[in-house]
Structure 1
Amino acid sequence: MTNPTPAPATLSVCGTVVARYCDGSDVAPTLSPRPYLHPVTTLGQTTVTEVYPDDHRHHLGVSIAVADVSGVSFWGGRTFTRDRGSVMLDNHGRQHHVSWITVDDAHLVELVSWTAPDGTELLREERSWTARPISPDAWALDVATRLCNTSGRDLSIGSPATNGRPRAGYGGFFWRAPIAAEPPRVFGPGLDTEDQLHGSRAAWLALVGRSPQGRAWTLVFTQDGPERDPWFLRAAEYPGVGTALAWSRRLPVPAGSTLERQVTTVIADGCPDPAALADAARKRP
């Protein structure tokens, strides 16, 4: 049964609230309003997301944010152009929460309408947010998206990279973590530098950092399904991890077609072994 009202919703693991859903309706138009999760916390209640940071006001916790859907920005802020570089354009889209399909303690499923600045719908999305326990100190968040092109015409997904800014292929799932005194350490299977992991298709990617209050946390990201996009990673400049739907070339989305992706993130207290967390995340009940 659907519920048209984007009422406050949370995700819980074993009775502990670990994430709060926001529909994004109060987000400024130039930040590309969209649903997001914040705060997301460890089971020990350390916050591991950030919203409206001074360095990038359009970073909103955990969200699906795409920089270029046939010229419309669902990322927010400035747009990179070949002739003028990064400039502010009147091209910001909006993701509207349409209705709930499922609202449970550990599972939220919603319909989301992606509209252009003139209100025309380009995409209709079914998005699910699922929380599940991994260990006494860790839990997993599964974010799955099914994007259907409802515009009646062929679309394509681009990025600053496809518009001329190398290695800036961001757009898709994106997680913004809080800034602390020191940048987080980064890890992947056989890799341990930001440069190595950025743009890679590593089986998993981990951030290990501390909160501004000094509490240790670990995030481990994996991609599920047949498609594994390159990772977009920032650590030294700011802590953020995303997938890149259009790393180096535009991704066609024909009229009526559906694009599906799923990312699982393990959220843990302390500094457990990231590889072990990635393995545990794959063992679903």
Structure 2
Amino acid sequence: MNTLTLDGSVLAVMRDGTDIEPTLSPRPYLHPVHTRAGTPVTEHRPADHPHHFGVSVAVPDVSGTSFWGGRTFTPDRGSVLLDNHGRQRHVSWLELAEDRRVELLSWTGPDGAEMLSERRTVRATGLDERTWVLDVRTELHNTCGRDLSIGSPATNGRAGYGGLFWRAPIAATPPTITGAQGLEGEQALHGSRAPWLAMAGTGPETGAGTGEGGAAWTLVLLQPGDHTDPWFLRAREYPGVGPALAWDTRLPLPEGARLERRLRVAVRDGHPGGTEELEALAASVRALP
């Protein structure tokens, strides 16, 4: 079992995705991811969206190939199951440490030909006794010998998801959503370019949280660097969040071009004391090297 470990504790399990059905776009992913106290903060294969797998890099449209899984939204027929599913395959490890993994991946289309090569870095960093930080960086390289573009259902008339995506577990009560500059709620933050956003929920009573009905957890998400994609966010229908590569227009990826994106997430036991505490936590996370 490949794991991310910090201070002797396993905080995330890295899975190669080889057991995923072809129609769900097989890919490596992280699950379960835990708080320091042991509360799970990811979900995979949920009944509502069986193609959601913990923390993964999932893109619904790379020049027509789905690396998201499940049905594809089409302008004329709606969501339909097409024979267009790709696969992300582990090629080699470039770096192996307890708290850091760097791997080379190959993104292949339905015909088995490589479309993209990816260098993915996953790192765990301690912040305090209740908080650790997961840092995921993806570097995509167009290796197929032709121009590509990245799209989403939004570029065909629906929701703009796709990119680094975090699927959280469902609980009896939807998580609360807070963002920078006093923004609150799914409606206010969905599609925004907020510098950070926080999702606070509850899970099974396996840790030391105090949330009603289960252990409390909080995720504070931000995009390091100068580039900030719009946030795709769900809370009421299901808890899921991630920066969207192609919110409403296609993203060109010419032959030989490279694309880099990064997501940094504070995984914290308990619920925040207020917006000021979240602002301070986000600042601490952004300041990490």
Q: Same fold by TM-score, threshold 0.5 exceeded?
A: yes
1:207 and 1:218 in contact (8 A); partners too? yes
Offset of 1:283 from its aligned partner? 2.3
Q: Please name the residue that 2:229 is paired with.
A: 229
Query: How many angstroms apart in 2 are the aligned matches of 1:282 and 1:163?
Result: 34
SS in 2 for 1:162: helix
Query: How many angstroms apart in 1 are the aligned matches of 2:147 and 2:48?
Result: 34
TM-score (norm 1): 0.95
SS in 1 for 2:285: helix
1:68 and 1:158 in contact (8 A); partners too? yes
What is the one-letter code of the residue matched to 1:204? W
Q: Does 1:284 align with 2:288?
A: yes
Q: Please name the residue that 1:199 is paired with.
A: 191
Q: Does 1:159 align with 2:163?
A: no
Offset of 1:225 from its aligned partner? 2.0
Q: How big is each residue's C-alpha offset from its partner over 1:97-147, in whole Å with a ceiling of 9 and x where there is no partner? A: 001001110000000100001001000000000000011100000000100
Give 1:66-77 correspondences, 5 Å limit. 66-77=59-70
Query: How many angstroms apart in 2 are the aligned matches of 1:231 and 1:268?
Result: 20
Query: How many angstroms apart in 1 are the aligned matches of 2:146 and 2:234?
Result: 34
1:181 and 1:212 in contact (8 A); partners too? no
Q: Please name the residue that 1:270 is paired with.
A: 270
**Aligned mate of 2:72, from 61, 76, 79:** 79
Give 1:22-171 correspondences, 5 Å limit. 22-165=15-158, 168-171=159-162
Offset of 1:81 from its aligned partner? 0.3
Query: How many angstroms apart in 1 are the aligned matches of 2:160 and 2:172?
Result: 27
Offset of 1:243 from its aligned partner? 1.1
Offset of 1:164 from its aligned partner? 1.4
Query: How many angstroms apart in 2 are the aligned matches of 1:193 and 1:183?
Result: 11
Q: Please name the residue that 2:210 is paired with.
A: none
Q: Please name the residue that 1:183 is paired with.
A: 174
Q: How big is each residue's C-alpha offset from its partner over 1:7-61, in whole Å with a ceiling of 9 and x where there is no partner? A: x311112111100100101111011000000000000000000000000000000
Offset of 1:276 from its aligned partner? 2.1
SS in 2 for 1:280: helix
1:12 and 1:131 in contact (8 A); partners too? yes
Q: Does 1:19 align with 2:23?
A: no
SS in 2 for 1:282: helix
Query: How many angstroms apart in 1 are the aligned matches of 2:227 and 2:255?
Result: 20
Offset of 1:224 from its aligned partner? 1.2
Unaligned runs of 5+ in 2: 206-213
CA RMSD of aligned residues (A): 0.8
Offset of 1:212 from its aligned partner? 3.7
Offset of 1:274 from its aligned partner? 2.2
Query: How many angstroms apart in 1 are the aligned matches of 2:226 and 2:256?
Result: 20
SS in 2 for 1:199: coil
Offset of 1:267 from its aligned partner? 0.1
1:225 and 1:261 in contact (8 A); partners too? no
Query: How many angstroms apart in 1 are the aligned matches of 2:37 and 2:220?
Result: 17
Q: How big is each residue's C-alpha offset from its partner over 1:178-223, in whole Å with a ceiling of 9 and x where there is no partner? A: 0011000000011001011000000001100100430000001000
Unaligned runs of 5+ in 1: 1-7
Query: How many angstroms apart in 2 are the aligned matches of 1:240 and 1:274?
Result: 19
What is the one-letter code of the residue matched to 1:133? G
Offset of 1:259 from its aligned partner? 0.1
Query: How many angstroms apart in 2 are the aligned matches of 1:171 and 1:282?
Result: 23
